[in-house]
Structure 1
Amino acid sequence: MSTEMTENVVRTIAETAIENEKYFGDLDSVVGDGDFGYSLARGFEKLLEGWADLDRGDPGTFLKRTGMVIASRIGGTSGPLWGTAFIRAGTAAGDADLTGDRVVAMLRAAIEGIKARGQSDVGDKTLLDALVPMTDRLAASLDRGLAPHEAIEAAATAAREAAEATVDMVAKRGRAAYTGERSRGSVDAGAMAVAVIAERISETWKPGGAP
């Protein structure tokens, strides 16, 4: 995957976050403070506003610069978490074209960054509950020899299934954690955002629609 393809993926993430501002906010308002969709959209709008000025020397540099903008522009706890994810992914990417194995390594690095920054893990009812299963499915699909678009589609399916499964979890991190058992019965907004974004990326990578 070249820098241009990396740009297309990041732009897809940004546009999806902006388009789903109300949906993500509504999900967050059930047990949170409802600002997740707004914060995410405003941060990615700032990223797109300065799009032409981002360093495109190589995929890793581009992702790290993206992460720095996101960390500083997205409000609340989401900024540090999403920013850290992009920065860690960029560090793992380095300056080479990105193979499937390298992309998996980037996602693993992003996951570890989120865990460390948010002091959270799978089962805490956060975006990790979709991001980790998505990454695992992507890795397994690539290991089986699936074509990139097929592996990405499988990963998006895993993200959706995992995000929907958060409905049965009790939140242990973020504002939702203060609601205790009341957080059970609604999906996690961050996990669902990962699923929706993964599905949009999958659409762009289908034959005839790949970046």
Structure 2
Amino acid sequence: MSHNKRITENSSIIQYLMKLNFALYFTKPVIRHILEFIIAATQKGYSGTVTDIVNLSLANCHRTTFGKFLNQGVWNIEYAWRAIRREVIRIIFELSQTSNKPIFVIFDDTIAEKTKPSLQAKHTIQATGFHQSHLKGKQVWGHQLLTIMLSCGKVVLPYCIERYEKGGKSKIERICEMVSMLPIPKGPAYGLCDSWYINKKVIENILKEDTIS
């Protein structure tokens, strides 16, 4: 499925990516693919598949182009996250100062459930596995994500989202490292989390960083 419309270099989306200095870290083809991901992800019917990206974005290429980009593309997602985190901090801190409202740091984890592949499948989705779903009350197949969101008033923005992989660092270790990335707020800030985050190491790390209450 192709489209006649095209996003020009003067579009607000591209201008915003340039404001985040994406051009310093990514080539034009990479920025184009990032743009196509953004367009597809904001369309009705998007479910996270590569086919959705091709069908719902303004791309005029085959599905395998995106697959090759995801598997073999040379680009560092951490560069993008650094820019995003700076922008989220700027927006939330400014909003807190102008509105005189507290900042909420929201810790959570979620499961991006996938279809369990058959035993005959030659290629399975990388790093998938069984995870306990508290929503369904059972083990489900997919990716588990650890997240930190920053909120002030009615605005909620993602500060950090990463995939949790079994066999590596524990959730507690990773959340402590994620907390250490938070800057000291200029006003009151509070943490909101599920019960499993009520852990001595997490609380001590938060107090040590002097970031949130």
Instruction: Choose 1 or 2 for highest CA Rg.
Output: 2
TM over 0.5: no
Greater strand fraction, Structure 1 or Structure 2: 2
Greater helix fraction, Structure 1 or Structure 2: 1
- The TM-score range, normalised by the shorter chain, is under 0.3
Q: Higher RCO, 1 or 2 (CA under 8 Å, sep at least 6)?
A: 1
Compute the TM-score of the two structures, normalised by the length of structure 1: 0.24
